[in-house]
Amino acid sequence: MARRLTDANIKYICEMIDGWPGPLTWEGLADAVEGAFRHRYTRQALNAHERIRTAYAVHRNVFRNMPEQAPKGSLELQAAQERITRLRAQNTRLEVENERLLGQFVRWLYNASLHGLDQETLNRPLPSVDRDRTNLTLADVNPRRK
């Protein structure tokens, strides 16, 4: 039975895509994910998650438009350049993801207004959670245990 990807797994995969050193393919990504999670996910399973699909598309677009550069200088300089490249890719992916979430928020606000919810109602704070200690014992909860 296939294991579901959690939010933490999806975040890890997106960061893996951000740091991908060269051209990215679904097969290569599936191999890397298998190495990380010890479970093989198909291209379709990975593509079903919008954050992974967006990260993949952004990386392909950024990598396609990036000029070819030969590594220059010391190992520290090369490592710094790789880090800059990875952070730029992550920044671009997060900007795209933020735009998508803002669009979703606008859609939700529009639909809420159609159903008679105003902005004041939507901005009400969440109810507080009562975290006081309970006086119940196990016997009170399960009367058969007396």
Residue 69: pLDDT band (50, 70, 90) is low
Q: What integer pLDDT is reported at residue 119 of this predicted model?
A: 83
Q: What pLDDT, in 10s, does the model give residues 77-95?
A: 888 888 888 888 889 889 9
Q: What integer pLDDT is reported at residue 144 of this predicted model?
A: 65
d(CA 19, CA 30): 15
Q: What pLDDT, in 10s, does the model give residues 95-106?
A: 999 999 999 999
Supply the DSSP symbol for 116.
T
More confident: 10 or 134: 10
List the chain domain ranges: 7-118
Q: What pLDDT, in 10s, does the model give residues 109-141?
A: 899 989 999 888 888 998 888 777 667 666 666
Residue 107 zone, left/alpha/beta (φ > 0; ψ -120 to 50; rest): alpha
Separation of CA 14 from chain center: 6
Q: What integer pLDDT is reported at residue 30 of this predicted model?
A: 94
Separation of CA 70 from chain center: 31
Note whether 96 and 90 are within 8 A (CB): no
What does the buried/exposed string (b/e) look like for 47-78 if buried means 16 or more CB atoms within 10 Å of the residue's CB?
eebebbebbbebbeebeeeeeeeeeeeeeeee
Q: What integer pLDDT is reported at residue 1 of this predicted model?
A: 46
Q: How far is CA 55 from CA 18, 22, 66, 85, in A?
A: 7, 14, 16, 14
Q: Considering only 49-53, 73-77, 99-103, 106-110, which range has the smallest mean pLDDT?
A: 73-77
